[in-house]
Amino acid sequence: MSTTFGDRLEEAVTAYGPLCVGIDPHPQLLHRWGLDDDVEGLRRFGDTVVEALAGQVAIAKPQSAFFERHGSAGVAVLEHVLAMLREVGVLSLLDVKRGDVGSTMAAYAEAYLSDGSPLAADAITVSPFLGFGSLAPAFELADATGRGVFVLAMTSNPEGAQVQHARVAADAAGEGGVTVAEEIVSAVAERNAEGGGSGRFGSTGMVVGATVGKDIADLGLAQALADSRAPLLAPGLGAQGADAGDIARGFGPALPLVLPSSSRGILAAGPAPAGLRAAVRQQAAELAGG
């Protein structure tokens, strides 16, 4: 790829706005759309959503698990969806949350970030909770191929705080004592600083839930997020209870970096593509006014 993921994302967000739409074929949603919970239903769902999103949004987020649950045939549909997103010019952020060590992490990176892989996306989500350094193979391959990596930092699930708010022990020199979330924010900011560029976005992003505004305030992280140049994927808009006002208040100075993400809130307007597009426009308007 001739440009960095951060540059391509900035261009797309400038054109279409920051809204990210999840492609989450829940069994209940398939049934609501009048589709069978099988591979054919999965394919028809994916085709309809991508058709509706073309020319409407900057980025879409397929959730790998809902395709994987159908086995190898479901993964083939995911490959098809990723190819379709490329064809219609919508950036793909594949939600896989991979995290491992050594050669295993390198293999995950090759699956999702290498040129020519049928599962290659513009960016993926990864988990840093085996140590931030364990993600090096993903970072290195993403840098080499012009793709992006979004690191889990402050997720909205209540169990996440057990790890993310835990404090790192201070070393002999008294360094440390910050929360795990703060360490992740700092490490991502350092990567984006080393990556250079003067655009709004670096190519290393973070996942920060749309509903964790109080945690951002309690940890004093709003300015650090703003300074990180990290695109901030913020799941939880709509069905999980967050609205445009929550995002604006919670992220404060980091708001220009936020990619608010809605899945069920948009997809519930299907199965007609016109209904989905109307829901996208309504959500985008709310974000612009929030």
Mean residue pLDDT across the chain: 94
Confidence check: pLDDT of 172 > 70: no
Contact 168, 143 (CB under 8 A): no
- Interval 174-206: pLDDT, tens: 666 899 999 999 999 999 999 877 799 999 999
Please give the Cα distance from 136 to 130 (Å, whole number).
Answer: 12
- Interval 43-65: pLDDT, tens: 999 999 999 999 999 999 999 99
Please give the Cα distance from 18 to 13 (Å, whole number).
Answer: 5
Q: For residue 288, with 0-12 CB atoms within 10 Å meaning exposed, 13-18 middle and 19 or more buried, which class applies?
A: exposed
Catalytic residue among 26, 32, 97, 165: 97
**Record: fold of 5-289:** TIM Barrel (3.20.20)
Domain boundary assignment for the chain: 5-289
Active site includes 97?
Answer: yes
pTM above 0.85, yes or no: yes
